[in-house]
Amino acid sequence: MGPIAAAIAVGLAALGAGIGNGLIVSRTVEGMARQPEAKGMLQGTMILGVAFVEAIPIMAVVIAFMVVGR
């Protein structure tokens, strides 16, 4: 039961991160289209946001390994 639960948790974390990254990038591109002069600031904020969103599935994988390793 442990490995199946860990796989489901990692899969859901990856799904959430994919949706979150898609929303972040789409809103950034939309913002750049509306205000091209703010491109640099928007890109920096986007990269920071994507890094935070990507940290969640990485933590899920670590926790899944800890649970399965027991």
Nearest to 16 by CA among 52, 65, 44: 52
Nearest to 7 by CA among 70, 56, 67: 67
pLDDT tens by residue, 9-65: 999 999 999 999 999 999 999 999 999 999 999 999 999 999 999 999 999 999 999
Structure tokens at 6: 């860990």
pLDDT score of 25? 96
CA–CA dist 69, 63 (Å, integer): 10
E strands, 1-70, in order: none
Check pLDDT > 80 for residue 1.
Answer: no
